[in-house]
Structure 1
């Protein structure tokens, strides 16, 4: 199983060697992910969000040497965030659902890009509160992003609103 990760133009330039031209149409229950790069204290960080649930994971201080282990870094960060957010599942289940990461050029998913831009704005705002990246409680900040209300349904009823944690629970906890 392969999980497609569509990258922003900025991230695509940084990871040219990892980018594949065409994707296999198979993806698991989690669907596709979108990734972008941002900087904190001159360190590269990745914001990776799930398109179905808008669930967010942040990888901090990513260097070129980390690219060969990026799958394991992502799986560990995702599992750690799931545990922090109270989503009880086994690491093996998460690892199987993700499978192999497949980095692709941008798909211009405007909805997901909009959520990412909002999350980046919130992280930028929090940066002033904590000072440096080393002082930031990343899992707690990402938890705050994942508990923000989002519109999932088609209508404007209260039941059409949820948060990323609840949506991810629906997918992972059977």
Structure 2
């Protein structure tokens, strides 16, 4: 099992050695993810969003040396964020669901990219509230993003509005 993570053009330039172009692989149980890079005090941080649920994970202060163990960093951060958001599950089960990470070039998913850009604006606002990256409660900020209402569906009914935490719960139950 492999989980596809499509990178933005900016992130693709930073992680060229991780990018593979095997488009034939199926998406994992959670579907595809999109990743982009943003900076806090000149430190690289990644915003990784699940395209189906719009659930977010922030990897902070990622250095070039961390790329060799990025799979472990992602799984640990995702697990910690799920626990923080009240979704309790076994780490080994989550690791099995994720499988290996397959970094892909951008897929130009405009909906997810627009969603990420909107969330980055929220983070930019909160950056000024906390000052330095060391003072930023990353899990709390990610939780704020994940509890923001989102629209899933075609209509304009109130039942089409939910939040990413509820949507990722549904995916994990499948």
Q: Tell me if TM exceeds 0.5.
A: yes
1:49 aligns with 2:40: no
1:119 aligns with 2:105: no
1:151-171 residue CA offsets vs partner (Å, 9 max, x unmatched): 001111011010000000111
Where does residue 105 of structure 2 map in the other structure? 105
Where does residue 152 of structure 2 map in the other structure? 152
SS at match of 2:89: coil
Task: Tell me if structure 2 keeps the 8 A contact 1:2–1:27.
Answer: yes
Number of aligned pairs? 174
Segment drifting more, 18-27 vs 2-11: 18-27
1:96-146 residue CA offsets vs partner (Å, 9 max, x unmatched): 111000001000000000110011100000011000000000000000000
Q: Distance in 2 between matches of 1:173 and 1:86?
A: 14
Give the deviation of 1:11 after TM superposition.
Answer: 0.3
Q: Distance in 2 between matches of 1:53 and 1:105?
A: 21
1:68-101 residue CA offsets vs partner (Å, 9 max, x unmatched): 1000000000000000000111111111111000
Where does residue 163 of structure 1 map in the other structure? 163
SS at match of 2:58: strand
- Normalised TM-score (structure 1): 0.98
Q: Distance in 2 between matches of 1:22 and 1:153?
A: 30
Where does residue 82 of structure 2 map in the other structure? 82
Q: Distance in 1 between matches of 2:172 and 2:27?
A: 14
CA RMSD, aligned part only? 0.9
Task: Tell me if structure 1 keeps the 8 A contact 2:8–2:106.
Answer: yes
